[in-house]
Chains A and B, each alone.
Chain A
């Protein structure tokens, strides 16, 4: 079973920031928070991951709370192409174990 809890769906206006929350209250000390997304009919796409510090790359920012029990993925300026299902996953970074996908959050970016 997935170790994370996400809202099933969210809407965001085009051009605005999309903030996707994730709860992972049972996260272990050696587990990272990963985010993937799946645009309709395509393969999942890696977005970002982090341990305890906030992370930013060209796609998004990841904010992890100090107690590491929750995090937020931020898409700073959402476009229509960001409409997708977003998956928050916790896993050990050095493990080659399978990725366990939950139902994710279906983000709809609205014109």
Chain B
């Protein structure tokens, strides 16, 4: 069973460009979470999605950032008009659907975004 997959692993963008980060959850998982880790800082929650729904976006910056988890395909974190402060590692995690089981989150390897 493949783990959480993220691509690209490394992404370089110039200021003002758009960054699109993709996350494929583990097979059978229907809950996706995005976290951001700024250089030398801890992991911070950004957004929690289920298929076609945003459940909690309390950690998302109000502008330029958006996320989706369509019925088919991976979850996408989109950053418009990137700035140097967006340079960070972005981690995706997934957890299985409800059913009374434990909902530990399984993390992907991350996408390292560098904004020049």
Across the interface, B106 reaches (CB within 8 A) one of A38, A46, A94, A95, namely A46
Enumerate A30-84 residues with CB–CB distance to B below 8 Å. 34, 38, 41-46, 49
Given A43-B91, A104-B42, do A99 and B109 touch, yes or no (CB 8 Å)? no
**A45 engages B107 (CB within 8 Å):** yes
State the total of A-B contacts with C-beta under 8 angstroms: 57
Interface size bracket, A side: 20 to 34
By a CB distance below 8 angstroms, the chain A residues around B25 are none
C-alpha spacing A37/B111, complex, angstroms: 18
Complex A-B, nearest 4 residue pairs according to Cβ-Cβ distance, in ascending order:
A43-B107, A98-B45, A101-B43, A46-B104
Q: Which residues of B contact A (CB under 8 A)?
A: 4, 31, 33, 35, 42-45, 48, 55-56, 58-59, 89, 91, 93, 95, 98, 100, 102-110
